[in-house]
Structure 1
Amino acid sequence: MDDTRKKQREDSRNPPPPIVGDFDLTDDHTEIYLALLEAPSVTRNEFVRRGFEPEYVDKSMRAFERRSLARPLGYDVWEAIPPDIALPAFAARLEEYATTIRASTSALSRSYANRSADAPDPSGYDRLNSVEEIALATQQLLARSGTQVVGLRNNSPYTRYLLGLPTDFHVTPVRNAQGVKLAARVTMDTSMIPHPRFNEVVTARQSTGELYRFHSGLPFSAIVNDRGLAVIDAHGPDGEALGLMISTPGAAAAVSNVAEWAWRLGREWRLAQETSGELDARDKRILELLSSGTTDSVIAKRLKVSQRTVERRVRELMDRLGATTRFQAGVLAAKDGLI
């Protein structure tokens, strides 16, 4: 018996428990796995006769054993573990592995950001030229925060990037380098409401304790902490992501003033209530006009009703939709297919 292959067989009987194993299977692994499923048992020589390289057979079968997809019946003989048992179990291990990775992302990101957390740019201003650079600067800011951050978000490239991230990211609280959960307040521009994932993302972030308000016409997106750091992001000349990391306390304080101004003017976010049921033609027309910015007096003239009637219906419709502004009511109605 070949000593090397004998040792390999012994090792495969008591392997360490990695999820993926140490062998990078190619697309051929599907073919060899199907060949294993087609017979009660398959020998190494039978695999070779089917055209598989001997070394590839050895590595593939060791990998299948490690994944509990196959078991040895003897020397160089294997059978497949029933797929209805093996595949769900393997998938569950992969899901557990993925969950562990996702749970580690926040802490690892803080560690990555901390590489340069103690070495701010000497000038106090660091230009950011991509979404990735803005994301890293934001992680650095969070890592170096004390207890709280405040921000504002308009329809910037980085804001759209954040809205596209998985829900797992948004249900994770923001923390500093010491693992302290940060109190966060964010004012969102009403222009973000039509985004298809807006409700989902804001709801997820609220579940972590973050507070949200709304205001229109925000000049840029930014986040500022309680340690004199700020990150601004906006559109570049050609619509690209462009940002600035500020570590000068005076300039960061100016950004903080803008964020606090937006927060004071903003309206609280409320989840939409049940909106089932048809709207009558008049209510639909009111919402259509609201979404275009029409005033109550103009709506009253067009519908030939009193302004008081319009004001009452607008309040009722806003409550029904969970809207905090007239414009938001029109947008939410459009999103829900009510108009």
Structure 2
Amino acid sequence: MFTGLGLGGHEEEVYLQLLTTPGGSVQWIGARSGLTTTQVTAALESLAANGLVDRSAALPAVWSAAPPDVALEELLLRREGELRRARRRITELMRAYRRGGPGAEAGELVEVITGRDSVAELWRSLQLDVRDRLRILDRPPCVRRFDPETELAVLQRGVEMHVVYESRALRDPDRLAEIRSFARAGEQARVLPDLPLELALVDDRLAVLQVSAGSELPSVLLVRPSSLLDALVGLFELYWSHAMRLPATATADAGVTPEDHRHRQLLTLLAAGLTDESIARQLGVSPRTVQRWVRELMDRFGARTRFQAGIQAARADLL
């Protein structure tokens, strides 16, 4: 039962014996299991190191089993982490192997990763390994597999995350809700009507660049430190500087006037590229009211277009 968790038959037998009683000594366990004192002692030490058994505080010679729903789950999570690290190590070994082949010097700078599962595993490992900063151009449809829990864990580690979303990403209410949850967790999110590509920059060490959009077999380029990586960093900063800041939430904040709150909601939906009719349905008003609110917003900031109004609103810290 426990082989996949890195435990042997003796550890399993001892743990199962202790599950049936409030506590037992080495001799009692040996008598019940048929194991020698040396085997029981070694098994108990291994189980204790993995958090599966404990000594009694009052009677040090008595051992008891930890609840399996907690202890085994924690052990399983540790094993999963070890497997992920082993998988990343295999990837590193393959890169070393390729470096030893013909044309290895040029191949060190850019590597092609093909296949949905391979791309997903690469993206997950990069998120787990990021140290200081993650910068993303998010252009749907995304070739990487999206994992909200992993991104929230990255933010909780204090990693600085800057993301520019193409407006199409905000049209799905569920996706928009996720993006707002990331913003509340610390992600700095901005939006542009169009993006040229999907890109992720991991610290200043690596870049992941989509090969082509809409292909049946997803592929990405893994770019290492080079003039190409420097150019991709410059490309991101250019789009970041022109993007409109995205409100973190559509709920009213303390100290925000009803007009500013309404403008925040309106700007979020405009940034998503929704029509006046769609915005009206979401806000529960008429299209004519939406058009009036948009005109008020443009007049307020002296903007000639809706997007200019969004830029001016961001500069005024409305967003």
Q: Give the aligned residue type for 1:200.
A: S
User: What's the offset of the Cα at 1:266?
Assistant: 1.3
Aligned equivalents of 2:127, 2:183: Cα separation in 1 = 19
- Relative to 1, partners in 2 of residues 1:31 and 1:245: Cα closer, same or farther, differing over 3 Å? closer
Structure 2 unaligned spans of 5+? 254-261, 299-306, 311-319
Indicate yes or no: 2:179 matched with 1:198: yes
Distance in 2 of aligned mates of 1:242 and 1:134:
12
Aligned partner of 2:106 among 122, 130, 147: 122
Instruction: Give 1:44's aligned residue.
Output: 27
Q: What is the SS of the residue equivalent to 1:122?
A: helix
SS at match of 2:146: helix
Q: Does 1:272 align with 2:273?
A: no
Q: Is the counterpart of residue 32 in structure 1 residue 17 in structure 2?
A: yes
Matching residue within 42, 46, 54 for 1:69: 54
SS in 2 for 1:170: helix
The TM-score, its normalising length taken from structure 2, stands at 0.51
TM-score (norm 1): 0.49
2:191 partner letter: F
State whether residues 222 and 230 of structure 1, in contact with CA within 8 Å, keep that contact through their aligned partners in structure 2: yes
Partner of 1:293: 274
After the TM superposition, which residues 1-339 of structure 1 pair with which residues of structure 2 at under 5 Å, given as runs? 27-37=12-22, 44=27, 47-48=30-31, 50=32, 52-55=33-36, 57-63=40-46, 69-71=54-56, 78-80=61-63, 121-122=105-106, 124-129=109-114, 130-131=118-119, 132-133=121-122, 150-155=135-140, 156-158=142-144, 160-161=146-147, 163-165=148-150, 167-174=152-159, 185-193=162-170, 194-195=174-175, 197-206=178-187, 211-224=188-201, 230-233=207-210, 239-246=216-223, 251-252=228-229, 254-272=231-249, 274=251, 293-295=274-276, 303=286, 305=288, 309-311=292-294
Say if 1:158 and 1:233, in contact at 8 Å, map to a contact too.
no
Label 1:154 to 1:70 Cα distance change in 2 as closer, same or farther (>3 A): same
- 1:222 and 1:231 in contact (8 A); partners too: yes
Is the 1:138–1:231 Cα contact (8 Å) retained in structure 2? no
Q: How many residue pairs are counted as aligned between the two chains?
A: 248
CA contact (8 A) 1:151 1:186 kept: yes
Could you tell me how far 1:326 is from its partner in structure 2?
11
Q: Secondary structure at the match of 1:213?
A: strand
Q: Could you say what secondary structure the match of 1:270 adopts?
A: coil
Deviation per CA, 1:296-318: give whole Å up to 9, x if none.
7x969x94746753437989xxx
Q: Is 2:135–2:161's contact at 8 Å kept on the other side of the alignment?
A: yes
Considering only CA atoms, is the larger Rg found in Structure 1 or Structure 2? Answer: 1
The residue type paired with residue 259 of structure 1 is F
Distance in 2 between residues matched to 1:247 and 1:62, nearest whole Å: 45
Partner of 1:160, secondary structure, is coil
- 1:261 to 1:42, Cα distance in 2 relative to 1, 3 A: closer
Contact 1:70 1:78 survives alignment (8 Å) = yes
Contact 1:223 1:231 in 2 (8 A): yes
Shift of residue 243, structure 1, vs aligned partner: 1.0
Structure 2 CA distance, aligned partners of 1:228 and 1:294?
Answer: 40
Distance 1:259 1:121, change over 3 A: farther
For 1:247-288, what per-residue CA distance to the aligned partner results, in whole angstroms no more than 9, with x for missing partners? 585544553454234213311133215359xxxxxx9xx98x
Note the C-alpha offset of 1:244. Answer: 1.1
User: For the residues of structure 2 that align with 1:71 and 1:228, how far apart are their CA atoms?
Assistant: 50
SS of the residue corresponding to residue 311 of structure 1 reads helix
Q: 1:222 is matched by which residue type in structure 2? A: L
The SS at the match of 1:157 is coil
Q: State whether residues 157 and 234 of structure 1, in contact with CA within 8 Å, keep that contact through their aligned partners in structure 2.
A: no
Distance verdict in 2 for CA 1:79–1:265, change over 3 Å: same
C-alpha spacing 1:200/1:251, structure 2 compared with 1 (3 Å): same
